[in-house]
Structure 1
Amino acid sequence: MLRLPTLCYPLLFILFGGFSLNQLLAPGWVRAGGDHLTPAQIAQRQADFVATPLLPGENNYREGVLNTLVLMKFAASRLSSKERRALIEASWHHQFLATAGLKIWDDSSADGDVVRISSMGFHVNVLLSSTPQDVFLPVTPGVPITITALSDGAGGGITAAVVGIHFPADDDAYRDRYLRRDMRNALGKPLVLPLLRPGENVSILLKY
């Protein structure tokens, strides 16, 4: 008869006991290493999003030249030289009417989720964290901003929340208030996005 060392029994108990407990509790949860949401929480996120047709926001209705300069300043720290050139060309081609900003963050678990925020042919990829990040995009009234799920960090789906931000009035305000990683320039209440899987997207219409 095979005899196991005495120390093996506690180890086996922990392994099999933990597996059994996980199987018992798992049906009520999205199984993931990162975001853990119950079906009820997932449904609530969807309901809250549908019930909020417009997200409060601000924009700058300025001449196309200034909008291009504002976008260039933002792009300088976030885009490659090739992407910056494409942004400038797109700005002149589309004659953007305004520039608006969003603050976005992972409202559940900062587990490496990545999203793409798109508007008027311009897009920014954002690695979500628990710290809010400001993103600025060209906009046209009545045309929504699209947020697409690119990568599900540690599993469980992509979770994010957004809020509009106050737009600075001049260049000094730009330096003081742009790219904040807090909520001091937030406008209105945050909007929690539905749980997304890679490839899925949602559209957000800003209310100016």
Structure 2
Amino acid sequence: MEPADDPIPELAPTPSPVPQRARVVPVATLLLAASLPIAWLTYPSTGDAALTSAAQGTRAQLYQRAGALPLPVVSPQERASALDAMKLPAEQQVVLEEQLRAQNTELVWLTLWDDCDQDGDVVMVESDAFRQRVPIVHAPRRIAIPRPKSGVVKLTGVHDGGGGITIAVATVTGKVAMPVMVPGQVLGIPVR
């Protein structure tokens, strides 16, 4: 055992008298704390249903006003790990690497997450020949994609966990909430 692992002896604190009323509070607190997990388990989850039609309309309007979203470029230092994380078939990866070397394309970061209730939403991300199925969770998920020649990244709704597929995208200027989607819907996101 190393010296740092040795327990350091301490004196036990001297108990002080506790007024009778102060003893009741911890018991009430324990009873309340014990009932919270039961209430949480029995409370029905609304999923994204809590997003009103007015809020959905606002999301769509703000998305329209945002215009082409500026996505951050994958730096040369990050390129190798970004390519590995894309999990492309070998022949596709070779073609993409050749395009990158010839500067015919560049990789950009697409960061997305569920900005409402994490309820199992899934989308398909498409940029030129690249496609990836992405489960949407609360933690932002950053994926490398080729900057699309068309200037549009396609998101296709795959699965709605409840109340619509709710996604936000991080850009170099901040967060942009996407319009609420349904399975099968394709959303073309202009990017720059």
TM-score tier after normalising by the smaller chain length: 0.5 to 0.7
Higher CA-based Rg: 2
CA distance in 1, matches of 2:82, 2:164: 31
Is 2:125 the partner of 1:117? yes
- The question of whether the paired residues in 1 share the 8 Å contact of 2:74 and 2:109 is answered with no
- Whether the aligned pair in 1 keeps the contact of 2:168 and 2:177 (CA below 8 Å) is yes
> How far apart in 2 are the matches of 1:87 and 1:124?
13
Q: Pick the aligned partner of 1:201 from 173, 186, 189.
A: 186
Q: Read off the aligned partner of 1:87 and give its amino acid letter.
A: Q
Where in structure 2 are there 5+ consecutive unaligned residues?
A: 1-44
The alignment partner of 2:83 has SS state of: helix
The amino acid across from 1:159 in the alignment is T
Amino acid at match of 2:180: L
User: Pick from 91, 99, 112: which aligns with 2:107?
Assistant: 99
Decide whether aligned partners of structure 1 residues 103 and 90 sit closer, same or farther in structure 2, where only a CA change above 3 A counts: same
TM superposition score normalised by structure 1: 0.60
- CA-CA distance at 1:128 after TM superposition: 0.8
Runs of 4 or more, structure 1, over 3 Å off, are: 92-96
Amino acid at match of 1:56: P
Sequence identity percentage: 25
Cα distance in 2 for residues equivalent to 1:192 and 1:87? 31
Q: Structure 1: any 5+ residue segments left out of the alignment?
A: 1-31, 165-186
1:206 CA displacement: 2.1
Q: Which residue of 2 aligns with 1:45?
A: 59
SS at match of 2:176: strand
Q: Pairwise CA RMSD of aligned residues?
A: 2.5
Alignment of 1:48-197 (within 5 A): 48-59=62-73, 69=80, 71-75=82-86, 79=87, 83-85=88-90, 87-91=92-96, 96-140=104-148, 142-153=150-161, 155-164=162-171, 187-197=172-182
Shift in Å, 1:72: 2.8
| Separation in 2, partners of 1:108, 1:86 | 38
The one-letter code matched in structure 1 to 2:83 is M
Letter in structure 2 aligned against 1:162 = V
**Count of aligned pairs between the two proteins:** 143
CA distance in 2, matches of 1:94, 1:197: 34
